Structure 1
Amino acid sequence: MNDKQLRTAAGQVRCGECLQVFDAGTGEVGFIAPRIGSDDPEPDFTGITVTPMEAADPPALEPTLPASLKLLGLILLLALGGQVAWHNLRPATSSSADTVTIKQLIVRQHPDLENALQLDSVLINNSVDNQPYPDLLLRFDTRYGEATAQRRFVAGEYLPYIPDAAGMAPRTRVQISLSLINPGARAVNYALTVVPAAVSEN
């Protein structure tokens, strides 16, 4: 410590080891730093109040949307839900070739006619709407997949009469039965498919 610092501190300096303050000129001790040992009583902290520090930054607030934007979002959400529901629940508008299916197809020897076959099957309208009676395409193939016989039947040929001019009612089954000339021993496979009714030209 230099002379200027001593004059500023009025000659008082503190020992770096024992923390005692003494006069640098005379060596007299002016202040003894208190030491707390194991035999000393616990310090009394009564009367000391601790004030919590305020938060340096206010809590972050989530941005809020104006009421008009919230209402617009709700309307758009409801509109989207309505479109999905209409797409899933709307009535079917497909042709009868897409909605009419064939079940329980059986081809066997005709019980009464010689050299003839009998075809029995069921047509099912899977749509929720009336469907026109479709045409039916019957095909016989060889074991190699080659066609040996083929014929297209319109509704008036595979039904004894047309039950309803409006077409097949929704979710209904129609039994059909056909008598056919036997196409021969090479016809070992057969298939009956639904095709759209042919448009008549007038």
Structure 2
Amino acid sequence: MSGTIMIIEDEPKLAELLADYLRQSGFEVRLVADGMAAVPAIHEQKPDLVLLDLMLPGKDGMEICKEVRRFSSVPIIMVTARVEEIDRLLGLEFGADDYICKPYSPREVVARVKAVLRRGGTAAENNHGLVLDEARYSANLHGVELDLTAVEFKLLAILFASPGRIFSRDQLMDRIYSDERIVSERTIDSHIKKLRKKLSLAAADEELIHSVYGVGYKYELPER
């Protein structure tokens, strides 16, 4: 497995140790030590996965994760020494894909990175026919270009980044409408309906976005 991993960690020795293990596993590594530099670095370098420490100078990991989710579905693993359950839940609520608690084994981190990348389905690997281009807000399914609006693209990117994970309508609204405008749950339902219709034009026999009654929506990888 290959790809670029960004480590956002203010402890140099720990960051370098993780970087060494990841490089030995075939990954390229980028290091960021300051919270204020994290979001611009992710925006510019577009890593395949981010290892994000919770406690950082300048800006904490929760806020960084929330900001990143406004423009990217890159997989994020939160790394934290704060093991209270509320912190774990908040980390996932803000859009993290997984979390690891300190102290940890670097080998465990590498294994979790690989697991999230396999589960997440990046454009280069395990995409099952769906390719997303975040720079152009475009999507291609089985070679067919999908004519998506910006909101439809964001919805698809969020669901696609975490196959099998159920997102409530509130969670989807929070991620899509970063200006905190007031919208109803039916707005999300309407966007999902239109998105499904466009997906069906490229793959009529595949139901990719599933409704979970009383909860929300999830993306399911088609069986091969």
TM-score range, shorter chain: under 0.3
Q: Which has the higher strand share?
A: 1
For normalisation by structure 2, the TM-score amounts to: 0.20
TM-score by length of 1: 0.21
* Higher-RCO chain (CA-CA 8 Å, sequence separation at least 6): 1
Which is higher, the Rg of structure 1 or of structure 2?
1
